[in-house]
Amino acid sequence: MIDSPLSMYEAEAFGNCHRCRELTQSVSWINGSQSWEYTCQPCSYQQYEYDIPAETTFQSESLISSVPEPCHQTIYHQRAPRKCLPILVNGFSCKAIADTGSEYNCISRDFAKTIRAKIKKSQNSQSFSLPRNGYKLHSSEHIHLDFCFENEEYTWHNVKFFVFKELARDIIIGNQFLQETGTLEEYAYRLQPIPGSLGDMAFVGSLNFQKKYLQCWLNGVRQHTLPDSGAEVNLISRRLASTLNPVKYQPSTTCMNIEFADGSTVQARGKVDLSLSFFEPSWEQVSHVHHELVDDGGGVSGIGSGTLKVSTQTVISEPFYIIDDLREDVILGETLLFTIDAYNQLKNNFLWGAPNARPSIGMFDGLTGGESWLSGKQNSAPLSEKDKLLKEYYAHNDKYKELCTLIDDHVRWRSPDSKISAAVQQKDYAVWEFQCWAGNNKNLLDYYFPNSSLYDSIMALQ
């Protein structure tokens, strides 16, 4: 496990890493004395207890009580159902998908012909990115439709739709129109529940998502996530899943297939349960209370349609399905978003910016790619001295972690010694650059992160 200096800083500041949900105990003997070592799995922070004579082993059992133990209390909440948006278009009734993960309105060519819409050739063909890296949909046609929401025949909307031959759903209403009409906010009553269970196939829309992200904390780590009311489940990239939960990440025992807007499908590699909150949680909030969302009561006594909404100050244990080539690191699905009423209750958590953002000292993951949230292209205001310091720190730290991961991969797959040696040389040079930067900025590190060992941790990297 690669130590992050910022993770070490948090560990010292909080006494225990507040992302850790359980500590692993190991026992060893040193010069006739028994030693306990408690290791925080996500960040490798360690605590020690020494000088326990062997003959007092029975009394030393009390030391274990000093380590925080997860509380087994579980509070269940009713999960909101999947929803659709009933509309009337050209005299036809249709249940559209209200998809905040898609930028524009989309319609399949077959359905456009069914409702006798006049399809027009676009001047230029356009490409629309899917949530999977390298996958796109192309449209060279468009239509303008007059439609109204069901039970609102007195108000009609003339809206442009891009026409797709391969679209897996009849109509997708995009984020721009949803925001203009307040459909997910004050007029959320327009949405209707979809009856029935999900099964083993989940749909995820997301075509050319606008860079508006929802800030949350996963296992105590701050993230910018894609809120997608057109996604039936939560998704997470394999890279981030293994970073946030390296101990508990395991292949799923149940098969879940994900269908995208072009009709392509992929089987999820696995499923991981993460603690999720929309505020920075304390250690006690992450580890001492266990909140879960259940479908239709989930067979849990006392859970029913009258269950109160989940507070925005709740830490929830939420499942995420792991996709290898996911373009976004995290996609939050509709049932979670509707359960917490995100579009009304979490307006301050919606941010414009780039994915893989690193907006706080709590960010320790090794994500790369995408433009940093601190980039001047995303923020017209000049960077503060502290922001500039953090931006430079993450550039060095990410490079170091990437190379360490590369070395681990080479060793794991028994690559030739020449490749391992080259990677080690690159890593050593990256460490030298990192430590030179730390030496030049020691005063700033001490000023912005007082009483920490951040500088010393960087200088101890190997």
Query: What is the spatial distance between Cα 249 and Cα 244, in angstroms, rounded to a whole number?
Result: 9
Q: What is the pLDDT at residue 356?
A: 45
pLDDT tens over the chain, length 462 residues: 445 555 555 454 444 444 443 444 444 443 444 444 444 444 444 443 333 333 333 333 333 333 344 445 778 889 999 999 999 998 899 999 999 999 899 999 999 999 999 999 998 888 888 998 888 899 999 999 999 999 898 899 999 999 999 899 999 999 989 999 999 999 999 999 998 888 889 999 888 776 678 999 998 888 889 999 999 999 999 888 888 865 555 555 567 999 999 999 999 998 999 999 998 887 655 556 678 898 865 555 445 444 456 888 888 999 999 998 898 889 999 999 999 999 999 988 888 754 444 333 333 333 333 333 333 333 445 567 777 888 888 888 888 888 888 887 777 777 787 888 888 888 888 888 888 888 888 888 887 777 667 788 888 887
Quote the radius of gyration of the chain (alpha carbons, Å): 25
Q: How many CB atoms lie within 10 A of CB 340?
A: 24
Question: Do the first three CATH levels of 83-193 and 201-352 match, i.e. the same topology?
Answer: yes
Phi–psi pair at 272, nearest 5 degrees: -135, 140
Among 440, 431, 439, 444, smallest CA distance to 456 is for 439
Query: What is the spatial distance between Cα 57 and Cα 34, in angstroms, rounded to a whole number?
Result: 8
Query: What is the spatial distance between Cα 435 and Cα 455, in angstroms, rounded to a whole number?
Result: 9
DSSP one-letter string for 227-257: E-TTBSS-EEEHHHHHHH-TTT-EE-SS--E
Domain 201-352 fold is Cathepsin D, subunit A; domain 1 (2.40.70)
Q: What is the pLDDT at residue 34?
A: 43
Query: What is the spatial distance between Cα 47 and Cα 318, in angstroms, rounded to a whole number?
Result: 29
Domain extent listing, the chain: 5-69, 83-193, 201-352, 385-459
Query: What is the spatial distance between Cα 287 and Cα 42, in angstroms, rounded to a whole number?
Result: 14
Q: Which of left, alpha, beta for 326 (phi over 0: left; psi -120 to 50: alpha)?
A: beta
Go through 190-224 and write b for each residue having 16 or more CB atoms within 10 A of its CB, e for each that does not: bbeeeeeeeeeebbbbbbbbbebbbbbbbbbbbbb
Q: Tell me the residue type at 50.
A: Y
Q: What is the pLDDT at residue 212?
A: 79
The answer to whether domain 83-193 has CATH 1.10.1660.10 is no
Query: What is the spatial distance between Cα 224 and Cα 264, in angstroms, rounded to a whole number?
Result: 26
